[in-house]
Amino acid sequence: MHNMPPPVTKVLETFTPQLFRHAVAETVSVLRSGQVAAIPTETVYGLAADAFNPQAVRRIFQIKGRPAVNPLIVHVASMAMLRDCAGTVPESVHRLAEFFWPGPLTVVLPRSEKISDDITGGGGTVAIRWPGHPFFRDVIRELGNPVAAPSANLSNRLSPTTVEHVLDQLNGLIPLVVDAGPCAVGIESTVLDLSGTVPAILRPGIISADALRAVLPDLSEGITSKDRTVSRSPGTMPIHYAPVAPLRLFHFTSESDLIQLAGENDAGPGQTIIMTHLPRPLAAPWKDCIVFPFDPEAYARALYGELFRSDKAQPRLILIESPPDGTEWAGVSDRIKRAAAPRS
């Protein structure tokens, strides 16, 4: 048909109790019908599907263009739901839950027979999180099933922390997005593997290794590659969470070194956006200079929004100051390094 209107994505607000309850009910009915919806979480906006409906789960992969080997996180709202998804639940999960759940921590456990290959990428483990966002929590409870949800973006693009970001990539591709304002954490959850002999961080996040070690003294040093357990696609995803413009890291020495670095990347100052975590005395006519808060939590909250805004300005290059060392900065550092990874 020629004059069919282009599909539009419905946006629901949540800023009154009535709107909130209405949006929960609509989301649950979309998920029950086997469709997907973009919904707020405390980390980033998620693209949600009923985890026990394999066809709905496959829709997530289709819409995102996500490789089938990249497994999804399953979200629960009780320990009973977690036991339904996991084959075995080590004692450490209960200790971790006491300190960090509901919240931005994901644990990888042996999977139960209820979890399909579509979710795990074919592997024997499943990643599970109990999210803290009240909207997400109510959706899971009212649906009565766990909810599979990756970030609500196209594969390898920036993760969304506002509804504007979601619509920029997925408008017309999904029936519904629910607006609850900017995400409080701003980067994806910490992923902790509890399926091996020693607990190991697969993806750093705002819950740091030091915080986890207080509860899990045997946590392994350093970050283990997430490909260790998922494995079928070794080295496939160094790039992730990326803006459109190339992004390079720098250690600040002087402005003339920055101008030289821009030149080595075929960009003049007027085509280059600078991002730092400390105010720097810059005088050249840079396209923009952005100073992030010198605090890992506030930095994480701002990161994707500033990358999104910078993308819209269409710079030729983004230069970003290497964040400080320390486990509390590991989540921010990881996302910046992935954004800066070479593209194929």
Binding site for Mg ion (CB under 5 A): 150-151
CA distance 20 to 244: 34
Tokens, residue 138: 């109510």
147 binds ligand AMP (CB under 6 A): no
- Residue 247 binds what, of ligand AMP, Mg ion, none (CB under 5 to 8 Å, by partner type)? none
Instruction: Look at residues 146, 136, 112 and name the one whose alpha carbon lies nearest to residue 126.
Output: 112
Instruction: Look at residues 225, 196, 219, 195 and name the one whose alpha carbon lies nearest to residue 207.
Output: 219
Minimum Å gap between C-beta 241 and Mg ion is 7
166 binds ligand AMP (CB under 6 A): no
71 binds ligand AMP (CB under 6 A): yes
Of 27, 116, 224, 229, the one binding ligand AMP by CB under 6 A: 229
CA distance 299 to 329: 9
230 binds ligand AMP (CB under 6 A): yes
73 binds ligand AMP (CB under 6 A): yes
Of 124-132, 173-181, 243-251, 260-268: span binding ligand AMP (CB under 6 A): 124-132
Of 203, 277, 287, 335, the one binding ligand AMP by CB under 6 A: 203
41 binds ligand AMP (CB under 6 A): no
CA distance 241 to 217: 31
72 binds ligand AMP (CB under 6 A): yes
Measured at the CA of 11, the angle between CA 9 and CA 16, to 5 degrees, comes to 165
DSSP tag of 82 = H
Give the CA dihedral 107, 295, 162, 44, nearest 10 degrees.
-10
Q: What is the β-pairing status of strands 200-203 and 190-193?
A: antiparallel
Minimum Å gap between C-beta 323 and Mg ion is 20
Identity of the residue, 35 or 125, whose beta carbon is nearer to ligand AMP in the bound complex: 125
DSSP tag of 294 = S
- Residue 70 binds what, of Mg ion, ligand AMP, none (CB under 5 to 8 Å, by partner type)? ligand AMP
Minimum Å gap between C-beta 204 and ligand AMP is 11
Q: How many CA atoms lie within 13 A of 30 on its CB side?
A: 26
**Single-letter code of the amino acid located at 308:** F
Classify 342 as helix, strand or coil: coil
39 binds ligand AMP (CB under 6 A): no
191 binds ligand AMP (CB under 6 A): yes
Minimum Å gap between C-beta 184 and ligand AMP is 16
Which residue is closest to Mg ion by CB? 151
What separation in angstroms does the CA of 307 have from each of 81, 138, 248, 302?
36, 31, 13, 9
Identity of the residue, 24 or 73, whose beta carbon is nearer to ligand AMP in the bound complex: 73
Minimum Å gap between C-beta 340 and ligand AMP is 18
93 binds ligand AMP (CB under 6 A): no
CA distance 249 to 20: 41
Instruction: Look at residues 340, 344, 158, 156 and name the one whose alpha carbon lies nearest to residue 265.
Output: 340
Tokens, residue 245: 């413009």
Of 145, 151, 208, 310, the one binding ligand AMP by CB under 6 A: 151
Kindly list the residues in this chain that would bind ligand AMP in the complex (CB under 6 A): 70-73, 108, 120, 123, 125-127, 150-151, 188, 191, 202-203, 226, 229-230
